[in-house]
Amino acid sequence: MPKAADLPTPALVVDTGALEHNLTAMAAALPGARCRPHVKAHKTTALARRQAALGHRSFTCATPREMVGLARAGLGDDLLLANEVVDADRLAGLASLDARVTIALDSEATIDAAARAGLREAVIDVNVGLPRCGCDPAQAGRLADLARAEGIEVRGVMGYEGHVVGLEDRAQRVEQTEQCMALLLKAHEQVGGELVSAGGTGTFDVNTWATEIQAGSYALMDTAYGKLGLPFLPALSVLATVISVSPGYAVADCGLKSLGMDHGNPTIDGATVWFCSDEHVTFGPDSDGSVRVGDRVTVWPAHVDPTVAYHERMHLVDGSDVVETWTIDLRGW
**Surface-to-core class of residue 277, CB atoms within 10 Å of its CB (0-12 exposed, 13-18 middle, 19+ buried):** exposed
Q: Beta strand 121-125 with 101-105: parallel, antiparallel or unpaired?
A: parallel
Q: Which is nearer to its own copies, 121 or 253 (CB)?
A: 253
15 makes contact with its own copies (CB under 8 A): no
Indicate which single residue of 18, 122, 133, 273 sits in contact with its own copies (rule: CB under 8 A).
Answer: 133
131 makes contact with its own copies (CB under 8 A): yes
- Gap between the Cα atoms of 52 and 70, Å rounded: 11
Indicate which single residue of 8, 171, 229, 287 sits in contact with its own copies (rule: CB under 8 A).
Answer: 8
Please count the helices (runs of H) and the strands (runs of E) in the chain. Answer: 9, 16
Q: Which is nearer to its own copies, 190 or 241 (CB)?
A: 241
Question: Applying CB under 8 A, which part among 23-31, 231-239, 274-282, 319-327 lies near its own copies?
Answer: 274-282
95 makes contact with its own copies (CB under 8 A): no
Q: Could you give the C-alpha distances from 196 to 54, 75, 232, 293, 323, in angstroms and in order?
A: 22, 22, 24, 53, 38
Question: Applying CB under 8 A, which part among 46-54, 69-77, 124-132, 146-154 lies near its own copies?
Answer: 124-132
Indicate which single residue of 52, 91, 184, 276 sits in contact with its own copies (rule: CB under 8 A).
Answer: 276
257 makes contact with its own copies (CB under 8 A): yes
Smallest gap from Cβ 185 to its own copies, in A, equals 20
Which has the closest alpha carbon to 83: 136, 134, 157? Answer: 134
Q: Which is nearer to its own copies, 54 or 317 (CB)?
A: 317
Smallest gap from Cβ 32 to its own copies, in A, equals 26
Give the residues across from 251 on adjacent strands.
244, 282
Q: Are 79 and 71 in contact (CB under 8 A)?
A: yes
Binding mask 70-89 for its own copies (x = CB under 8 A): -------------xxxxx-x
Q: Which is nearer to its own copies, 54 or 143 (CB)?
A: 143
Q: How many residues appear in the chain? A: 333
Determine the residue type at 156: G
306 makes contact with its own copies (CB under 8 A): yes
19 makes contact with its own copies (CB under 8 A): no
Question: Applying CB under 8 A, which part among 5-13, 116-124, 202-210, 220-228 lies near its own copies?
Answer: 5-13
Buried b (16+ CB within 10 A) or exposed e, 180-203: bbebbbbbbebbebebbbbbbbbb
- Gap between the Cα atoms of 44 and 169, Å rounded: 31
Judged by CB under 8 A, how many residues of this single chain contact its own copies? 56
Q: Are 101 and 67 in contact (CB under 8 A)?
A: yes
Strands of the chain, DSSP E:
11-15, 58-61, 78-81, 101-105, 121-125, 153-159, 195-198, 212-213, 236-246, 249-252, 267-268, 271-276, 281-285, 296-300, 313-318, 321-327
278 makes contact with its own copies (CB under 8 A): yes
Which has the closest alpha carbon to 309: 38, 49, 12? Answer: 12
Q: Which is nearer to its own copies, 20 or 279 (CB)?
A: 279
134 makes contact with its own copies (CB under 8 A): yes
Indicate which single residue of 67, 94, 239, 251 sits in contact with its own copies (rule: CB under 8 A).
Answer: 251
Q: Which residues bind its own copies (CB under 8 A)?
A: 8-10, 40, 62-63, 83-87, 89-90, 106-107, 109-110, 127, 131-134, 136, 162, 241, 243-246, 249, 251, 253, 256-258, 260-262, 274, 276-280, 282, 292-294, 303, 305-306, 309-310, 312, 332-333
